[in-house]
Amino acid sequence: MARVVVLGGGVAGHTAATFAADWLGKDHEVVVVTPNSKWNWIPSNIWVGVGQMSKEEVTFELAPVYAKAGITYKQAKAVSLNPEGSTNSDKPFVTIEYTGQGKAGQSEEVTYDYLINATGPKLNFAATPGLGDANGMGEFTVSVCTADHADHAAHEFAKCIEKMKKGERQKFLIGTGHGMCTCQGAAFEYIFNIEHELRKAGVRDMADLQWISNESFLGDFGIGGLHMKRGGYAASSRLFAESLYSERGVKWLIGAHVNKVEKGKVSYELLDGSMGEESFDFAMLIPPFAGVGLKAYDKAGEDITATVFAPNGFMKVDANYNAGAYENWKASDWPRTYQNPTYKNLFAAGIAFAPPHPISKPMTTPNGTQIFPTPPRTGMPSGIIGKAVAHSVCDLIKKGPNAHLHEASMAEMGAACVASAGKGLFDGTAAALTVYPVVPDFEKYPGIGRDLDYTFGEIGLAGHWIKHILHHMFIYKAKLNPGWTLIPE
Partner 1 sequence: MIKELITYPDERIRYISADIRKFDDELFELLENMRDTMEHHELNAISAIQIAMPYSAILIKDDERIIELINARLISTDGSEEIDEVNPYFPKGFSAKIKRYGKIKIVFENRYGELQHLDAEGELSQRLQRQIDFLFGGTLLDKLGKNERKEAENILVSQHEGVYDFGASCPRVFIRDYFKKGAKYLMGIVLLSFIAPFVVSPEVREMIFTIDKIALALVPVLMVIYFLYAQHEAKIYKQCTSCQIGNIIGTTAIMAVQLLIVSLGVFLWIAP
Check if the beta carbon of residue 208 is closer than 8 Å to that of residue 170. yes
Interface pick for partner 1 out of 72, 365, 369, 370 (rule CB under 8 A): 365
Cα dihedral across residues 311, 312, 314, 317: positive or negative = negative
Considering the rule CB under 8 A, would residue 416 count as an interface residue with partner 1? no
Exposure string over 219-249, b if 16+ CB within 10 A, otherwise e: bbbbbbbbbbeeeeebebbbebbeebbeeee
To the nearest whole angstrom, how small is the minimum distance from the Cβ of residue 327 to partner 1? 4
For partner 1, the closer CB: 401 or 446: 446
To the nearest whole angstrom, how small is the minimum distance from the Cβ of residue 263 to partner 1? 24
Q: How many CB atoms lie within 10 A of CB 360?
A: 24
To the nearest whole angstrom, how small is the minimum distance from the Cβ of residue 471 to partner 1? 19
Interface pick for partner 1 out of 64, 70, 264, 273 (rule CB under 8 A): 273
SS (H, E, C) the chain: CCEEEEECCCHHHHHHHHHHHHHHHHHCEEEEEECCCEEECHHHHHHHHCCCCCHHHHEEEHHHHHHHHCCEEEEEEEEEEECCCCCCCCCCEEEEEECCCCCCCCEEEEECCEEEECCCCEECHHHCECCEECCEECCCCECCCCHHHHHHHHHHHHHHHHHHHCCCCEEEEEEECCCCCCCHHHHHHHHHHHHHHHHHCCCHHHEEEEEECCCCCCCCCCCCCCEEEECCEEEEHHHHHHHHHHHCCEEEECCEEEEEEECCEEEEEECCCCEEEEECCEEEEECCEECCCCEEECCCCCECHHHHECCCCCECCCCCCCCCCHHHCCHHHCCCCCECCCCCCEEECHHHECCCCCCCCCCECCCCCECCCCCCCCHHHHHHHHHHHHHHHHHHHHHCCCCCCCCCCCCCCCEEEEEEECCCCCCCEEEEEEECCCCCCCCCCCCCCCCCCCCEEEEECHHHHHHHHHHHHHHHHHCCCCCHHHCCC
To the nearest whole angstrom, how small is the minimum distance from the Cβ of residue 439 to partner 1? 15
For partner 1, the closer CB: 231 or 401: 231
Which stretch, 13-21, 105-113, 448-456, 474-482, contacts partner 1 (CB under 8 A)? 448-456
State the number of binding residues for partner 1 (CB under 8 A): 44
Considering the rule CB under 8 A, would residue 25 count as an interface residue with partner 1? no
Which stretch, 134-142, 162-170, 193-201, 265-273, contacts partner 1 (CB under 8 A)? 265-273
Interface pick for partner 1 out of 39, 41, 353, 456 (rule CB under 8 A): 456
To the nearest whole angstrom, how small is the minimum distance from the Cβ of residue 380 to partner 1? 17
To the nearest whole angstrom, how small is the minimum distance from the Cβ of residue 328 to partner 1? 8
For partner 1, the closer CB: 301 or 460: 460
Give the type of residue at 60. Answer: F
To the nearest whole angstrom, how small is the minimum distance from the Cβ of residue 401 to partner 1? 40
To the nearest whole angstrom, how small is the minimum distance from the Cβ of residue 265 to partner 1? 18
User: Within positions 239 to 258, which residues make up the interface with partner 1, using CB under 8 A?
Assistant: 239, 243, 246, 252-256
Considering the rule CB under 8 A, would residue 238 count as an interface residue with partner 1? yes
For partner 1, the closer CB: 217 or 476: 217
Interface pick for partner 1 out of 90, 139, 302, 327 (rule CB under 8 A): 327
* CA 488 remoteness from chain centre: 19
Interface pick for partner 1 out of 103, 171, 199, 229 (rule CB under 8 A): 229
Considering the rule CB under 8 A, would residue 453 count as an interface residue with partner 1? yes
Considering the rule CB under 8 A, would residue 305 count as an interface residue with partner 1? no
For partner 1, the closer CB: 201 or 452: 452
User: Within positions 38 to 97, which residues make up the interface with partner 1, using CB under 8 A?
Assistant: none
Cα dihedral across residues 461, 465, 466, 470: positive or negative = positive
To the nearest whole angstrom, how small is the minimum distance from the Cβ of residue 87 to partner 1? 50
User: Within positions 307 to 326, which residues make up the interface with partner 1, using CB under 8 A?
Assistant: 326
Residue 125 sits at the vertex; the CA angle it makes with 176 and 81, to the nearest 5 degrees, is 120
Interface pick for partner 1 out of 120, 358, 422, 449 (rule CB under 8 A): 449
Considering the rule CB under 8 A, would residue 270 count as an interface residue with partner 1? yes
User: Within positions 284 to 303, which residues make up the interface with partner 1, using CB under 8 A?
Assistant: none
Considering the rule CB under 8 A, would residue 332 count as an interface residue with partner 1? no
Considering the rule CB under 8 A, would residue 130 count as an interface residue with partner 1? no
Considering the rule CB under 8 A, would residue 363 count as an interface residue with partner 1? yes
User: Within positions 418 to 447, which residues make up the interface with partner 1, using CB under 8 A?
Assistant: 442, 446-447
Please return the burial class of 51, using the count of CB atoms within 10 Å of its CB with bins 0-12, 13-18 and 19+: middle
Considering the rule CB under 8 A, would residue 457 count as an interface residue with partner 1? yes
For partner 1, the closer CB: 102 or 232: 232
To the nearest whole angstrom, how small is the minimum distance from the Cβ of residue 354 to partner 1? 23
To the nearest whole angstrom, how small is the minimum distance from the Cβ of residue 271 to partner 1? 4
| Contacting residues toward partner 1, per CB under 8 A | 216-217, 224, 227-236, 238-239, 243, 246, 252-256, 270-274, 326-327, 329, 361, 363-366, 442, 446-449, 453, 456-458
